[in-house]
Amino acid sequence: MLEGIVISAQGGSYAVQAEQGDFQCALRHHVVEAEERRRSETNDMPYVDLVAAGDRVQMEPSDSDQGRGYIEEILERKTRFGRTRMDGWRQVIVGNLDLLLIVFAARQPQLKLRMIDRFLVTAEASGLIPVIIINKMDLVAFDDLKSQMALYEDLGYKVIYTSTLADTGIDDVRQIMGDQISAFVGSSGVGKSSLLNAIQPGLSLRVGEVDERRHKGQHTTTTVTLLPLAFGGYVADTPGVRTLGLLDIDEEQAIDVFFPDLRPYLPSCQYRSCRHSQEPGCAVQAAVKSGQIDSGRYDSYLRLSGLKEGRFERNIDKKSSKTKNRERRRGYAR
């Protein structure tokens, strides 16, 4: 038996990369049967596909067909970036994703802190390590940007300042991506393609770009491919996965825990179910008033929680409340 990583998954055929070579694999029926048994015991909704790009698997090469093989076991996933489809089926888009590389431009297009917050929450909710990359640093004064980003660095988020034009910061990005599975997110024009090409010449991705105005309900293509990096690790090519950087969680799910700056105050709120909006005895609102929590970050919390109207609408599938309740009970509500 060999261990390998799934590079792409499509139509029940899986490209697996192992130390011994690349194999085109099918999934052994006993894996499907085991999952069926597990589901019948737990009442879980089915998966669109049991195997996703990024999954680590045990596989057996075929005796007769060279380059072919069978997946015998899917190893436990470290992280599972996915969603619940409109019909309630669960879909893993990338397995074992480590890093969410959140790319913004220092200017052109303008840096939007509230959108950074949205990506950060997504990463936190999925257990991914977010890395903020501020590109086009050649267009601004470093100190100005650095002070704008100080809040995030203080919160413990890694911020890398790059310019593909001046060739600065590229090595830092390479270093952080080494031996990891990464995915890039960010709006069109911030320099994702330029960055990738600087990191590894010739590397071009069909990254699903996030269009702020049109992100609702866009969950189209999900044929994710992992591209191997010369310095170790993989970058996920996610064409059409526009939601990769967008919150995709249940309407009523509390997201306060995904704000590290709100977290310390949560136990001190008078009501356990406090939404930190209008409630009396709210420690979060008090900390915003006294300046201990940044008011912009609090604003992002309110918007992303749906407690305040804003440009950042929640990205929610239109599900029946019955489906939602079922999902909440199962704890798979994101």
Residues that bind ligand GDP (CB under 6 A): 135-136, 138-139, 163-165, 186, 188-194
- Three-state DSSP class for 58? strand
Give the Cα separation of 163 and 168 in Å (integer).
5
Contact 235, 184 (CB under 8 A): yes
- Nearer residue to Zn ion within complex by CB, 175 or 268: 268
Dihedral (CA of 63, 65, 66, 69) sign: negative
Give the Cα separation of 79 and 231 in Å (integer): 22
Query: Shortest distance, CB of residue 134 to ligand GDP, whole angstroms?
Result: 10
Q: In the complex, which residue's CB is closest to Mg ion?
A: 193
Contacting Zn ion within 232-291 (CB under 5 A): 269, 274, 276, 282, 284
| E-assigned strand segments in 158-249 | 158-161, 181-185, 225-228, 234-237
Q: Which does 274 bind (CB under 5 to 8 A by kind): ligand GDP, Mg ion, Zn ion, none?
A: Zn ion
Q: Is 105 or 226 the residue whose CB approaches ligand GDP more closely? A: 105
Closest approach, Cβ 298 to Mg ion, in A, equals 33
- Tokens 């071009």 belong to residue: 204
Please tell me the distance from the alpha carbon of residue 318 to that of residue 324, in angstroms, as a whole number: 10
Give the Cα separation of 173 and 132 in Å (integer).
Answer: 10
Nearest-angstrom CA–CA distance, 225 and 234: 9
State which residue, 194 or 223, has the beta carbon closest to ligand GDP.
194
Question: CB of 112: closest distance to ligand GDP in angstroms?
Answer: 14
Tell me which residues touch Mg ion (CB under 5 A).
Answer: 192-193
Query: Smallest gap, in angstroms, from Cβ of residue 204 to ligand GDP?
Result: 9
For the CB of residue 246, give the shortest distance to Mg ion in the complex, in Å: 18
Q: Which of residues 59 and 235 has its CB atom nearest to ligand GDP in the complex?
A: 235
- Binding residues for Zn ion (CB under 5 A): 269, 274, 276, 282, 284
